Amino acid sequence: MSFNDYESDFAYRDKSIYHALFNLHSQNIKTKKKIFAVNNLEKIIKATFKVSSRIGFHEMSLRDLCRETELSMGGFYSCIASKDVIAIMIKDMVKLVSGEIVNNALRQNDKKQAINDIIAHSIYATDILQPWFYFLYFETRSLPRDEQESSKEIELLIVTTLENLLMETYRDKNKNQHHYHFIATMALAMIQERYLKPWKYKDTDMSIEIYVAETIKMVYLAAGTDH
């Protein structure tokens, strides 16, 4: 599936992700008027990405945020309960999307296709939602302590799913016990590499499809080789 096809079917693009966010987090949003909330949520989240990617979430003051969103402090607090909630909302959104990628991939019977889908769709989705995934990676420590575990589980889910699929597909007594775990780790590292260092890929001619193809090729090369 090409990136363009994936993107046009993707459920969390543009405005729609803020509707999903409102539905997911209505208990943390003071106003129940969806039209106001969604509009302000979009401003707040986008400004958070802009400012915190430069200086970090904690360093970003609410005054910075209000300058960027052109909201007043009152306008901000009438929408969102506290600064912490911004980070929690982003974490929950990323978790939702990641979970759907894994579930959709596992729904089919062909295990190799499931491996391909997890890798390709993860790279596609993290490209479309790059600021969301980037934020969560670097700001996990900004979350309240009881939310931090929830953040680590996201990446653990992808690694263990991949590892299991590889083992089921290639199970081979000649491979040592770490072999498939190492490959799954490498695959995740390559998925993260792209959304964590976007400046490397912005003006490059290495298209996202080539990046996906190289990653998948590397995985099968490693998995299919004697140890």
Partner DNA sequence: GTCTATATTCGGATAGAC
Partner DNA sequence: GTCTATCCGAATATAGAC
* Cα separation, 13 vs 62, whole angstroms: 26
193 CB-near residues (< 8 Å, 6+ apart): none
Give the tokens for residue 31.
């106003």
* Contacted by 40, from its own copies, DNA, none: CB < 5 to 8 Å by type: DNA
Task: Specify the 3-state DSSP secondary structure of 31.
Answer: coil
Binding site for DNA (CB under 7 A): 31-33, 36-37, 40, 60-64, 70-75, 77-79, 82-84
Q: What gap in Å lies between CA 188 and CA 227, rounded to an integer?
A: 21
User: In terms of CB distance, is 161 or 192 closer to its own copies?
Assistant: 192
Residues binding its own copies (CB under 8 A) = 54-56, 58-59, 138, 141-142, 176, 178-179, 181-182, 185-186, 189-190, 192-193, 206, 210-211, 214, 218, 221-222, 225
Query: Smaller CB distance to its own copies: residue 128 or 187?
Result: 187
Pick what 77 binds: DNA, its own copies, none; C-beta below 5 to 8 Å, kind-dependent. Answer: DNA
Instruction: In angstroms, give the least distance from the CB of 89 to its own copies.
Output: 19
Q: What is the DSSP code (8-state) at residue 140?
A: G
17 with 1: CB under 8 angstroms?
Answer: no
| Nearer CB in complex with DNA: 74/174 | 74
Would you state the structure tokens that stand for residue 14, as one six-digit string? 């543009």
